Chain A
């Protein structure tokens, strides 16, 4: 089978696709497009940023999104359009963004620059995440030389650029006729089903298959773990797993919905959930990584899950045998253990909308605000009625082997008056809920103290106190 994608209007066809060959290596070594750089090969620096395009839901425009080529497997490109930094200059003339960056000191050593160009170009043509401030769009691009000032300025100056996608659209229509849904390379098999039924069949027949959605985690098994996987199934192109259904009482999202695609809906559900989403990876990671994948891989930190657990999310698993639905917290059994049978896949997540008067507070603590993994992530959902806490759901990431609820803390709150004294008692009760580890992201002592303080932060904010660093301005004298 042949994987086909569009590059600068031409169809690139690759036979004999190594299922875990990365787009970055292919571009650099096979296609001699060396403008796209490897800075880390783990999706954290953005030097390899490229734009991927697919037809939008209406089929009338190309939906572009920035992704890290270093952890994107070649079969994931099938049927897509690709833009690299070499795509932008026409007949040797720089596009306006490039010209602006070249003139204003946006590059020093220049190695990260192509990645910045692609992130900013994406923003200027309306790619996924284009509504975010420039600094947020660049959170996944590291520069060690400039201090970012000129790059941010260039992003503001060239905030919108025209792009004619008619030919690309036609090319995508053509490609859609020849989807590549499986392949074998040197004895390794891969599948790229287009329906959930096909996925269920594949897993039923091959329960030893690794599922790959955005590859923001699995990609590292290859580039850093140097693993060779015998069977893979790519689930990112299953349209029914990419639905977002917003109703007055809940939000239901398919497992293959990318974080970037659900960002706005999450923010509508609660601003803190939107802010948490903004801080999950860089935009390139959110443009690839899925909510379902983030849950399914069972990380002890799992940036999304603590918040979703506190909000009362339910998870639906599916297989050829049918569906199972469970509270999200029940999915995490222990370190590296989840309640998923090898032939099952995560189908959807349902997140109830907080009721009026519910107090929701989500805080993520990390060394760096953007594109970092939590040392502690705390999520609180309190139902307060007539000054009394009638229900409390509290979940933390980074405090145990899995994202987990804080039952002692919840008990200390439930049924009691919403007062400073209750909050203090509950904050102390939290110490009984977790015995966190000391690791690279923080000591046990810090985690314990900061976790309790997040509850105090909730109290302070609920009473209208100034407790948001991001809202502060410098003094003017």
Chain B
């Protein structure tokens, strides 16, 4: 390996705990809302739209202004610069102008001396609306031709002809709901006005640079006047990639107008109403296949509800297309992706970023083909896997690291899939009320931002004369363990204990123009950037040591016992002190841009991904056919993280990702009423998994392999891929439902999330099929 990776050694990295774990458990880790509040701090709340789509005729804010404690009430007219908080398209208003396009949209902003006063006053605004027709569903938007961008098509060969020629042909469709992020720490930003018009923002965001740029434009200032800082987030999952900007901009606007520090800590219910979610999709497929289940032709239609503005929907829907092959060779295929514009809150990034929706579409096809042929779904899945001579994706990327077949085979054996499958069939034959189901589903997830220029990162490494080290990079910590991973990388470069490395808050005044911490890319990009920065300093120290001790540079070695220079050894701190006295610079930036990726969005062809991360899961469930209730009984996971940067952190991501995916597909249901109001806007009605929903039998193994590409330590990204392992839950549920009428050769009509009601409906549908 050393010859392939001359710069850094590939190491077995220790399973160190999260760098803040000792602070988390003591309540001593500081989040944005935990910092001391200056006496003159203002607290904020939005006056929200009650309408899904309407013209604003008049706004009467007299009662709001008169409310005790209110200091300022601002509307769009008070914005000095651009009224925009959107990531790309320029279509997300900070405060509504002339019309509202979804319920909960901010119309005015209240600043008061207490949070309670701001929230109470915000409910007193009187807004006269002239309602317009509101498009609330995928069907309504499709009928009206309402799109956020033109329908996209990714195709190879002639799917229609292949379908016509196939021995079997099976059309079908299903729906899946969106998902609220439910980060435990809600959206929060604190803006502090500084001298000469500058603003400092303490913000819970995955994308400090974007917040910086948006706030600067909104205030009509330059980016250099705005500093954004984030030490940690209390969860994010994509929900603080673009959605944090709204609250940051509001706080900055009040700080700008009042000259006082301003905090926006959003109430949970308001947060759930006002911020975007995972996209709901309607999937329609038409599959042609042979007697063995080989898919010969496939037409796939992915229609998503994008909400009222563009946000990141184009890239999210692209990723749905990219993952609708999952691990399978689709010779003649046409994937059509409709991005529907609705009068609902704009849907946004969420772990997997469209990938889960595309992947479950093809897994559903596999299950449907198997049901139609009356064979085990695992047979259909393995028959369709990529392999030699059938290794090019629908977007034209050749798969060079196809480990899915080996992983599936190993997991199938270790989880005793076949024996359990037979046992389950026997159980179902003798159990009239309870039915079990089992499924093995694989994951192949493409790693890189599909918008190529985002695949870059910067870092700043500071070595002090006492040998202690500070690192800073553009990545943000949301609980995923990025900071500890990067600290381990830097500690390894200098061969010092990781405790010698102080990880510092992400700040736009240390590393500029950063990308969002997203797309699972945090450790890949920032780890490499930090490594480059640290290597630059190590090279200088090496040259200095060789020079001062009169030996060759290759006689200088950084070891855990100290730095050996020729025959001598000295402590790292001692070397740093000497270097400082000799006027050797001990700080460096580091930079990394992912190589070899290029994608043409016009043709949907190219290499959007640097590599793929793989995984597979076996899941066993049981359902109650009287009530539609279910339990996840056992889960076995085999997952590929390459040569792990930190196995403990990675396993935590796998387990947490799986449970989050399980929630998406089972208990988490977003319900909107016919006025476009979200009814499930609190944890009282929106149910993420609890401790008892975790399967009692749950094993996680790491695949013993390394990245074929020279990533940092030959590791692989881990944030998003495990989320999609939970598709196995949905497949297993479908199989359990099918057992209520085992002679019927069709896939039960199950929609996601599989709530008791949906399972009961699917049982009825299956029996009637």
| A and B associate | yes
Binding site for B on A (CB under 8 A): 28-29, 32-42, 44-45, 47, 84-86, 88-89, 94, 98-99, 101-114, 117, 134-136, 138-139, 141-152, 224, 226, 363, 365-373, 375, 439-443, 446, 449-450, 453-454, 456-457, 460, 465-467, 469-470, 472-477
User: Whose C-beta in chain B lies nearest to the C-beta of A226?
Assistant: B120
Q: When chains A and B are docked, how far (Å) is the Cα of A28 from the Cα of B188? A: 15
Could you jot down 24 A-B contacts, CB within 8 Å?
A34-B27, A42-B683, A47-B184, A88-B26, A98-B22, A106-B21, A110-B479, A114-B25, A135-B692, A142-B182, A143-B184, A144-B182, A149-B655, A226-B119, A375-B756, A375-B757, A442-B757, A457-B433, A469-B629, A469-B631, A472-B633, A477-B416, A477-B418, A477-B420
B683 engages A98 (CB within 8 Å)? no
Residues in B641-680 with C-beta less than 8 Å from chain A:
648-649, 651-652, 655-660, 667, 669, 671, 679-680
Contact: A446 with B757, CB < 8 Å? yes
User: What is the bound-complex CA distance between A110 and B26, given in angstroms?
Assistant: 10
Contact A441 B23 (CB under 8 A): no
Which of A29, A114, A136 sits near B692, CB closer than 8 Å?
Answer: A136
Are B682 and A44 touching (Cβ within 8 A)? yes
Check B685–A440 contact: CB distance below 8 A: yes
Which residues of A are found within 8 Å of B97, using beta-carbon distances?
Answer: none
In the assembled complex, which residues on chain A have CB atoms less than 8 Å from the CB atom of B657? 147
B628 within 8 A of A: yes
Q: Which residues of the other chain, A, contact B667 by a CB distance below 8 angstroms?
A: 367-368
Q: Are A105 and B756 in contact (CB under 8 A)?
A: no
Q: Which residue of B lies closest to A100 (CB)?
A: B25
**Chain B hits for A473, CB < 8 A:** 633
> What separation, in Å, do the CA atoms of A94 and B696 have in the docked complex?
29
Contact B683 A111 (CB under 8 A): no
Determine if B385 is an interface residue (Cβ-Cβ < 8 Å).
Answer: no
Whether B25 contacts A467 by the Cβ 8 Å rule is no
Tell me if B132 counts as interface (CB < 8 A to partner A): no
- Bound: A372/B269 CA distance, A: 17
A32 touches B36 (CB 8 A): yes
Alpha-carbon distance between A379 and B185 when the two chains are bound, in angstroms: 38
Contact A105-B18, Cβ < 8 Å, known A111-B235, A365-B627: yes
* A39 and B431 alpha carbons, distance in the complex (Å): 42
Q: Across the two chains, which residue of chain B brings its CB closest to A467?
A: B433
Q: How far is the CB of B756 from chain A (nearest CB, A)?
A: 6
Cβ contact of A148, chosen from B25, B431, B691, cutoff 8 A: B691
| Residue contact B692 to A139, C-beta cutoff 8 Å | yes
Give CA–CA (A58, B606) in the complex, Å.
Answer: 76
| B21-A370 in contact (CB<8A) | no
Residues of A within 8 A of B436 (CB): 472, 475
Q: Given known contacts A39-B184, A440-B680, A465-B432, is B687 in contact with A368 (CB within 8 Å)?
A: yes
Tell me, in angstroms, the Cα distance from A152 to B655 when the chains sit together. Answer: 13
Q: Chain A at the B interface: mostly helix, strand, loop or mixed?
A: loop
CB-CB contacts below 8 Å: B411-470 with A: 416-420, 423-424, 427, 431-434, 436, 438
Whether B434 lies near A466 (C-beta < 8 A) is: yes
With a cutoff of 8 Å between Cβ atoms, the chain B residues found around residue A86 in the complex are: 26-28
How distant is B742 from chain A, measured CB to nearest CB, in Å?
17
Shortest B266–chain A CB gap in Å is 11
Q: Is B587 part of the contact surface with A, judged by Cβ < 8 Å?
A: no
Residues of A near B152 (CB, < 8 A) are none
**Complex Cα–Cα for A226 and B418 (A):** 57
The chain B residues found within 8 Å of chain A, CB to CB, are: 17-18, 20-31, 33-34, 36-37, 116, 119-120, 123, 181-186, 232-237, 267-269, 416-420, 423-424, 427, 431-434, 436, 438, 478-481, 620, 622-624, 626-631, 633-634, 648-649, 651-652, 655-660, 667, 669, 671, 679-680, 682-685, 687-698, 755-757, 760-761
| Nearest-neighbor residue (CB-CB) of B416 within chain A | A477
**Bound CA span A211–B184, Å:** 31
A111 touching B652 in the complex, CB below 8 Å, given contacts A368-B693, A440-B685: no
Residue contact A367 to B756, C-beta cutoff 8 Å: yes
Check B691 against A151 for contact (C-beta < 8 Å).
Answer: yes
Q: How far is the CB of B132 from chain A (nearest CB, A)?
A: 26
- Contacting residues, chain B, for A375 (C-beta < 8 A): 756-757
A372 proximity list for chain B (CB < 8 A): 687
**A-B CB contacts (within 8 Å), total count:** 299
From A139, A450, A457, B628 is in contact (CB under 8 Å) with A450
Which chain A positions have C-beta within 8 A of B234? 37, 109-112
Q: Which of A40, A367, A465 contacts B682 (CB 8 A)?
A: A40
A40 to chain B, nearest CB (A): 4
> Which residues of chain B are near A143, meaning CB under 8 Å?
184, 691
**Given A42-B682, A102-B21, A108-B656, CB of A465 within 8 Å of CB of B26:** no
Q: How far does the Cβ of A158 sit from chain B's closest Cβ, in whole Å?
A: 11
Q: Is A440 in contact with B627, judged by CB distance below 8 angstroms?
A: no
Is A146 within 8 A of B420, CB to CB? Answer: no
Contact of B651 among A105, A138, A456, A457 (CB under 8 A): A105
Q: Cβ of B755: which chain A residues have Cβ within 8 Å of it?
A: 367
Top-9 shortest CB links A-B: A35-B27, A109-B479, A111-B234, A110-B24, A477-B416, A477-B419, A474-B634, A108-B479, A85-B27
Of all chain B residues, the one with the shortest Cβ separation from A370 is B690
Whole-angstrom distance from the CB of B70 to the nearest CB of chain A?
14
Q: Which residue of A lies closest to B764 (CB)?
A: A449
Q: B418 to chain A: which residues have CB within 8 Å?
A: 477
Is the CB–CB distance between B185 and A109 below 8 Å?
A: yes
Contacts of A365 in B (CB 8 A): 627, 629, 756
Q: Are B268 and A102 in contact (CB under 8 A)?
A: no
A36 to chain B, nearest CB (A): 7
Residues of B within 8 A of A453 (CB): 626-627
Given contacts A105-B18, A370-B691, A460-B626, 13 further A-B contacts (CB under 8 A): A37-B185, A44-B684, A101-B25, A110-B29, A110-B479, A146-B655, A147-B655, A450-B626, A450-B627, A454-B627, A460-B432, A472-B622, A474-B696
Contacts of B649 in A (CB 8 A): 105
Q: Is the CB of A475 within 8 A of B620?
A: yes
Contact B27–A443 (Cβ < 8 Å): no
CA distance A143 to B419 in the complex (A): 34
Q: Which of B184, B416, B433, B680 contacts A112 (CB 8 A)?
A: B184
Also in contact, A475 and B687, with CB within 8 A (given A35-B27, A40-B268, A103-B21): no
Given contacts A109-B232, A144-B235, contact A114 B27 (CB under 8 A): yes
Q: How far, in angstroms, from A111 to B27 measured CA to CA in the complex?
A: 8
Q: A105-B652, A109-B232, A474-B634 are in contact. Are A367 and B26 (CB under 8 A)?
A: no
Q: A226-B120, A470-B631, A477-B416 known; A110 and B432 CB under 8 Å?
A: no
CA distance A465 to B760 in the complex (A): 20
CA distance A440 to B670 in the complex (A): 9
Return the contact of A109 from the options B184, B431, B628, B756 (Cβ within 8 A).
B184
* CB pair A108 B690 closer than 8 Å: no
- In the complex, the answer to whether B692 meets A369 with C-beta atoms within 8 Å is yes
Min C-beta distance of A83 to chain B, whole Å = 12
In the assembled complex, which residues on chain B have CB atoms less than 8 Å from the CB atom of A117?
Answer: 25, 27
Which one of B232, B423, B660 contacts A144 once the chains associate, using CB atoms below 8 Å? B660
Which of B119, B624, B687 meets A367, CB within 8 Å?
Answer: B687
Which residue of the partner chain A has the closest CB to B679? A440
User: Known contacts A110-B234, A467-B624, A477-B416: does B432 contact A139 (CB below 8 Å)?
Assistant: no
A36 and B27 form a contact (CB under 8 A): yes
In the complex, chain A residues whose CB is within 8 Å of the CB of B120: 226
For residue B31, which residues in chain A have a CB less than 8 angstroms away from its CB?
37, 111
**Considering only CB atoms, which chain B residue lies closest to A36 in the complex?**
B27
Q: Could you tell me if B689 and A368 are in contact, using CB atoms closer than 8 angstroms?
A: yes
